[in-house]
Structure 1
Amino acid sequence: MIDSRQLKLFVVLAEDLHFARAADRLDIAQSVLSQQIKRLETDLGVRLLNRNKRAAITLTDAGDVFLVEAKAALRQLERADRIGRLAARGEAGNVALGYIGSAVTTGLLPDTLKAFRTTSPDVRMHIVVMETPTQLERLSDGSIDVGFIRPRAHYPDGVTAKVVQRERLLIALPADSPLARAKAVTTSQLRGASFIAPQFNEAAGFAEALARLGRVGGFDAQPEYRVNDFITAVSMASAGYGVALVPQSIGGFAQPGVVFKPLSDFDEQVELAVAYRVREHSPCVMAFIDVALSYGGLPKRLGTHRTTR
């Protein structure tokens, strides 16, 4: 079996076509170089060089073909060595990331990706949008490595999360609503409104926030329309189907026919969290988690924090 050292010796000799000069470049004895090349030819079962006492050495046809492959093999070995060292430092590898739509609108996703790419450009990111419950399932079974989620009171065994961002809630109203002219809206003014809400067949998340809004306003706030995301909710509000309780960042994606108003007597905030496995061993995944946790200026290091909210 040939090795990388033999390949390097052959490539240098093929470039110089002179044993003495090649030996000087390699800082070895000429006799050692000659022995190694003969061993390489024996291992391959083919003559690579034309050796002439009175003329410069030349490559045989087989030598010409082998030179191309030898150079390619050395380049691949150098790349493998570099990638291996990067991977050990968390600067190469693969990270599977799940996220909810609000991670885009708040800037958490693009800002984190940009910061991580600056330090780890060789890490391949595999990014998939999915709701929080699905992300937690995928984290638990290992299908994804990190998730940008709405925090929960409880997480699957082996999964934890840390809040990195908070934002206030607004009410999205049709532009022709009488409330659209108010500077702010009270919760009681929303009594009787048709609510449009993203909901994923669970009680946690925005379903809880909407229920609390109704309690403050003195009514039972139940969604009349359930949709998959806030952009859809805002689109329906702009078309007059109802109102939507949305994070402030959604206001940056405003559509014609909709306005966003603060709630004067409902000052709750919603949160985004970074979720990950407690016992994570991949250096590049841990590096990404550290970057994501630093987004909000929060303490780093895995296994030292668990949200109990």
Structure 2
Amino acid sequence: MEIRHFRYFIAVAEELHFARAAERLGIAPSTLTVQIQEIERTLQARLLQRSKRSVRLTSAGELFLEQARASLLQFEQALGVGRRAGRGELGRIMIGYVGSAALAGVLQQHMRLFRSDWPMVQLQASEQSMGRLPELVAEGQVDVGFVRLPMTLPTGLSSHILQRNRFCVALPASHRLAGAQAVDARQLAGDDFVVPEQDLGTREVGRRGGFAPRITAIPGNLLAVLTEVSLWMGVAIVPDVVVPSVVLPDVVYKPLAGAAITSDLAAIFRRNEGAPAVKNLIRQLVSAAPDALAGA
């Protein structure tokens, strides 16, 4: 039995007249009669009591009508869900991010914008280690990642820069340079360094200062890094998005002297993404122009 049989039977049951039901369905009365007979043979039950003057439902027909209506409604709802999912109006997107994407507001900005356009799509976001995120996206465990470039991406992934930030230096409040207007890289030659997941800023400070940074800890996310600084474990070169966002006891932030050392916040995603909802988010991300240098 097919879904069309439910429609045929419901029309006859509501019209209680084969000719009117056939006209409503756009088929010939003889075809409708054959279809109803097929239903009754399949069910091995008489659903309609017919006479020359009238058509009425049997008790089996009344019960079957109730279930046929419910089945047809469920079928139509399933079609609607499938069509909406095919347009990307429904679905679930797994988002992974590094902490600085949230501190910069980039993550919140794009999730808020996407929700306003696609309110029925479920967004799930979780902080991940930056070194693991590309692999998670490539494996399909995460759909879109918010990371800091540069990084090596697996084959099949693309990136789009969303915001460009400067690096600054986080110092213990009692540090000898805590009162300086700006810190020259050479002034940090004798310091211990606490290094975030992206060590680009630390390496560049060492290059400019002509020294190899003495690394004492690589604790992971930015909050952990800055906590180490507050405990006087060393200095840290961090994106300046932390300056207004992370206030910790005994930590001060200072700009680095000279040309800006920059870091790019970017979205990474699968180049040949097939899920409609994820494709809608990717389209939103790649249409966004990168923000200018924070603090510039």
Aligned to 1:203: none
Equivalences for 1:277-292 in 2 at 5 Å? Answer: 277-292=270-285
Deviations 1:246-305 (A, max 9, x none): 21222343234133222223511111222233333444333221111123369xxxxxxx
Tell me how far 1:149 sits from its aligned partner. Answer: 2.1
- The amino acid of 1:207's aligned partner reads D
Aligned-partner Cα distance in 2 for 1:11–1:222: 80
Equivalences for 1:163-178 in 2 at 5 Å? Answer: 163-178=161-176
- The amino acid of 2:229's aligned partner reads A
Aligned-partner Cα distance in 2 for 1:114–1:67: 46
Kept in 2: contact 1:174–1:238 (CA 8 A): yes
Instruction: Assess, with a 3 A threshold, how the Cα gap between structure 1 residues 49 and 236 changes in structure 2: closer, same or farther.
Output: farther
Q: Which runs of 5 or more structure 1 residues have no equivalent in the other structure?
A: 200-205, 299-309
Tell me how far 1:169 sits from its aligned partner. Answer: 1.6
Tell me how far 1:234 sits from its aligned partner. Answer: 1.8
- The amino acid of 1:97's aligned partner reads I
Instruction: Assess, with a 3 A threshold, how the Cα gap between structure 1 residues 22 and 173 changes in structure 2: closer, same or farther.
Output: farther
Matched, 1:190 2:183: no
Instruction: Assess, with a 3 A threshold, how the Cα gap between structure 1 residues 50 and 102 changes in structure 2: closer, same or farther.
Output: farther
Aligned-partner Cα distance in 1 for 2:65–2:108: 45
Equivalences for 1:219-298 in 2 at 5 Å? Answer: 219-257=211-249, 258-265=251-258, 267-296=260-289
Deviations 1:43-75 (A, max 9, x none): 222334456788883462x44544443333323
TM-align CA RMSD: 3.3
Aligned-partner Cα distance in 2 for 1:230–1:163: 20
Instruction: Assess, with a 3 A threshold, how the Cα gap between structure 1 residues 157 and 39 changes in structure 2: closer, same or farther.
Output: same
Which segment is superposed worse, 40-49 or 265-274?
40-49
Aligned-partner Cα distance in 1 for 2:282–2:196: 27
Deviations 1:71-91 (A, max 9, x none): 333233223323333344344
Normalised TM-score (structure 1)? 0.76
SS in 2 for 1:6: helix
Tell me how far 1:210 sits from its aligned partner. Answer: 0.2
Kept in 2: contact 1:151–1:161 (CA 8 A): no
Kept in 1: contact 2:161–2:290 (CA 8 A): no
Deviations 1:118-158 (A, max 9, x none): 33344444544322332222333444333222223643333
- The amino acid of 1:245's aligned partner reads I
Instruction: Assess, with a 3 A threshold, how the Cα gap between structure 1 residues 278 and 29 changes in structure 2: closer, same or farther.
Output: closer
Matched pairs, number: 290
Q: Which runs of 5 or more structure 2 residues have no equivalent in the other structure?
A: 292-296
Matched, 1:41 2:40: yes
Tell me how far 1:225 sits from its aligned partner. Answer: 1.6
